[in-house]
Structure 1
Amino acid sequence: MRVLVVSESFLPTTNGVTTSVRKVLEHLALRGHEALVVVPAAGAPSRYAGFPVREVPAIAYRQFPVGLPSPQLQGIIAEFRPDVIHAASPFLLGAQAIAAGTRLGIPAVAIFQTDVAGYAKRNRLGAATRFAWRVVRWIHDGAELTLVPSSASMHDLESAGVPRLARWGRGVDLETYHPRNRLDPLVTLLRDRIAPEGETIVGYVGRVAPEKQLERFESLRGLRGVRLAIVGDGPSLPLVQKQLRGIPTTYLGALSGRDLALAYASFDVFAHTGAEETFGQTIQEAHASGLPVIAPHAGGPIDLIDHGTNGYLFDPRFDAHLRGHVRSLVEDEALRLRMGEAGRRAVLGRTWEQVCDELVGHYEAVLENSALEKAVRGRMATPLSTI
């Protein structure tokens, strides 16, 4: 199979979209497929997983490269002649790829991953929210299939009138993120740095940006026996540092690979604060690491957390609920361990290999449906005198 992967985000930018695209490319290489990657110009590597990476013109917006419509994209598609187009979190670049595929008779699978409309809603931009959903519907209407990561996203897209939807989650690296990492001597050193008196460590991993709502951690102020650890970087870091001043907090910066796995292993509890997650990949990584997770009862976390079994879902309208759940886990080590074990069990069937095989199955179904539709159109176009 020949797959054109068009992504609004890629290396060196690190986020959920980039991670899932990298895993998809690695899996396509593992299974012997061919691929070409098209991304906004931002200093991406020329190849990834053995596949060529082509950059197209982009502009910077709030530290992110935004791919611009470019006449060279249709030329790239026509030259590569893919069987299917994979549009990752499509916006301007992805929308153009889907439209070009339609003109060339190439089906597209769109991956819904960024809650653009949620951003407008959070900023109380009522008209912008309605406009954002119209844009989402327009972009995805051209795709043969839109894959959504959670039941909440499914509901939102159905309500917005987006057709042809199916669920597709995300995988997690069960070897990199593992409870045994807690035995690593480097984790002991890290725990001693964060919590020198043996306090319970509540950790966060992710971008430090407005939509992540890290200001919710202010609700932990004065809670005894707690130390906060934040992994990540982003535009809101100075403001968050100011808001959390006086709360014992260690800022570990952006981490990846083994360093990130060891950071998870140093936590006792994982807390996610943003209420706009379409999935919640860090929740899966925390569960794989054997941690109980606390997150808002909104979006992707609803599907990932079994409330009271492997973590807690708090009402995002009341930050005091976050504080209460943290206190419960701080005061009960046995409960933390039980929930952590349950979290690990919950992700055992979600390896990237399994999830990406499912994705290839979606490609195949779309190709079969496309071939059937072409055959039907061909029969309908045949004059009766020739039958």
Structure 2
Amino acid sequence: MRVVIVTESFPPDINGVAHCALQTARHLAARGHDPLVVAPATPTGREADAAAPCPVVRVPSLPLPGYPQVRVALPGRRLAQTVAAHRAELVHLASPFVLGMRGMAAATRLRVPAVAVYQTDLAGYARTYVGAGEGAAWRRIRTVHAAADRTLAPSTAAQRDLEAHGVPRVWLWPRGVDAVRFRPERRCELLRADLAPRGELLVGYVGRLAPEKNVELLARVCGLDGVRVVVVGDGPSEASLRGALPGALFLGRRTGDELARIFASLDVFVHTGPHETFCQTVQEAMASGVPVIAPAAGGPLDLVAHGRTGLLVRPCDAEALRDAVWALAGDPGLRASYGSAGRARVSGRSWEAVGDLLVEHYVDVLHARSAGAGAVAA
């Protein structure tokens, strides 16, 4: 199957959209399909593209003002030309917004089926960054996703949101996790001694440091006796967070096996953002055998079994977050129980299994298109 993956982000970017697009390309190539990726150009993209599992076409882009880690593709003909030249049988739109909308237009013109993967809560971001524009964001989401043959939502909460806003043909497609890389055996006592020299309880956050993540909610956790907060990631909020989280350790961006060791060496993983359509870091913490505390909103509702693999708290409630950490801090047996149950819960969610589900969605879309074309011809 010849597939063009049009994505708003791709490695070397580090975020959920980029990671999922990379895993999709890897799986398609491993299964003998012929994928090609179209993504915004980045200053360092050429080195990452050399290690990609398939050809990568970069389109001109500019950094988003105030958030240079995000690149916005510029208008041009290269995307449509690429779809045509690849003789695509299907277009995969990864979190379509700017480049993805043009990918949808190209697929429509060329009469190529399209699958749109919903992954970013753009309406929630509009509320966070500008305090308005939620309606406009949903109109744009509805426009591009309604034109697709099928929309894939990463969680039941995201599926409900899409359907409530008039998006048709929504199906559920979760995300995979590398349970070989992220596993409890990665726990490193030397690393723990370095991060918590007085034997403190290690409470970690991993992700972008941006306003929509609400990482400042960890301020009250920083005030707990015997607790050390560890923050992994970078982003535009880093400077302000360093002032807001006294005593916290900021480790910057970490990847690969190094990140896996950090995950497994934590005692508790905390996610603070209320706008997650899935939340991959929660799943990686669970695979690492670490109990999770997350907001009772969005993707974590599907991932965290409250009282079994971790705790769900009221979104944006700093006191509830602090109290949940304190409850786990004093009960190592409960932490171990939650961690083991979390590992068991995600052990079957490999990227291979999830990738095969995606291919099934592709096949269903292609069959539906063929049936529709046959009906029209008849």
TM normalised by structure 2 equals 0.96
Q: Which residue of 2 aligns with 1:383?
A: none
Q: Which residue of 2 aligns with 1:69?
A: 75
Q: 2:55 is paired with a residue of what secondary structure?
A: strand
CA distance in 1 between partners of 2:235 and 2:18 (Å): 16
Among 73, 82, 92, which residue is 2:88 paired with?
82
Q: Which residue of 2 aligns with 1:157?
A: 162
Q: Which amino acid aligns with 1:154?
A: Q
Q: Which residue of 1 aligns with 2:370?
A: 371
CA distance in 2 between partners of 1:317 and 1:267 (Å): 22
- How far residue 318 of structure 1 moved from its aligned partner, in angstroms, is 2.3
Task: Check conservation: 2:222, 2:228, Cα contact below 8 A.
Answer: no
Q: Which residue of 2 aligns with 1:5?
A: 5
The gaps in structure 1 that reach 5 residues or longer are 380-387
- How far residue 75 of structure 1 moved from its aligned partner, in angstroms, is 1.4
2:55 aligned with 1:52? yes
CA distance in 1 between partners of 2:60 and 2:227 (Å): 47
Q: Which amino acid aligns with 2:119?
A: Q
Q: Which residue of 2 aligns with 1:295?
A: 294
Q: Which residue of 1 aligns with 2:107?
A: 101
- How far residue 102 of structure 1 moved from its aligned partner, in angstroms, is 1.2
Task: Check conservation: 2:222, 2:248, Cα contact below 8 A.
Answer: no
The count of aligned residue pairs is 372
CA distance in 1 between partners of 2:114 and 2:143 (Å): 14
CA distance in 2 between partners of 1:259 and 1:179 (Å): 13
Q: Which amino acid aligns with 1:293?
A: V
Map Cα deviations across residues 300-331 of structure 1 (whole Å, 9 max, x no partner).
00110000100000001421111111001100
- How far residue 194 of structure 1 moved from its aligned partner, in angstroms, is 1.4
Task: Check conservation: 1:152, 1:278, Cα contact below 8 A.
Answer: yes
Q: Which residue of 2 aligns with 1:214?
A: 215
- How far residue 152 of structure 1 moved from its aligned partner, in angstroms, is 1.1
The gaps in structure 2 that reach 5 residues or longer are none
Q: 1:51 is paired with a residue of what secondary structure?
A: coil
CA distance in 2 between partners of 1:220 and 1:14 (Å): 26
Task: Check conservation: 2:107, 2:113, Cα contact below 8 A.
Answer: yes
Moved more, 64-73 or 223-232: 64-73
Percent of residue pairs bearing the same amino acid type = 47
CA distance in 2 between partners of 1:222 and 1:212 (Å): 20
2:31 aligned with 1:26? no
Structure whose CA Rg is larger: 1
CA distance in 2 between partners of 1:118 and 1:249 (Å): 27
Q: Which residue of 1 aligns with 2:344?
A: 345
Moved more, 192-201 or 284-293: 192-201
Moved more, 217-226 or 280-289: 217-226
2:248 aligned with 1:249? yes
TM normalised by structure 1 equals 0.94
Q: Which amino acid aligns with 1:220?
A: V
- How far residue 178 of structure 1 moved from its aligned partner, in angstroms, is 0.6
- How far residue 68 of structure 1 moved from its aligned partner, in angstroms, is 2.3
- How far residue 250 of structure 1 moved from its aligned partner, in angstroms, is 1.3
Q: 1:270 is paired with a residue of what secondary structure?
A: strand
Task: Check conservation: 2:93, 2:100, Cα contact below 8 A.
Answer: yes
CA distance in 1 between partners of 2:194 and 2:97 (Å): 42
2:332 aligned with 1:333? yes
Q: Which residue of 2 aligns with 1:115?
A: 121
CA distance in 2 between partners of 1:328 and 1:31 (Å): 46
CA distance in 1 between partners of 2:109 and 2:157 (Å): 32
Q: Structure 2 vs 1, CA of residues 253 and 317 (structure 1 numbering), >3 Å: closer, same or farther?
A: closer
Q: 1:238 is paired with a residue of what secondary structure?
A: helix
- How far residue 173 of structure 1 moved from its aligned partner, in angstroms, is 0.4
Q: 1:294 is paired with a residue of what secondary structure?
A: strand
- How far residue 123 of structure 1 moved from its aligned partner, in angstroms, is 4.4
Q: Structure 2 vs 1, CA of residues 209 and 338 (structure 1 numbering), >3 Å: closer, same or farther?
A: same
- How far residue 72 of structure 1 moved from its aligned partner, in angstroms, is 2.1
- How far residue 60 of structure 1 moved from its aligned partner, in angstroms, is 1.2
Q: 1:362 is paired with a residue of what secondary structure?
A: helix
CA distance in 1 between partners of 2:330 and 2:173 (Å): 37
Q: 2:45 is paired with a residue of what secondary structure?
A: coil
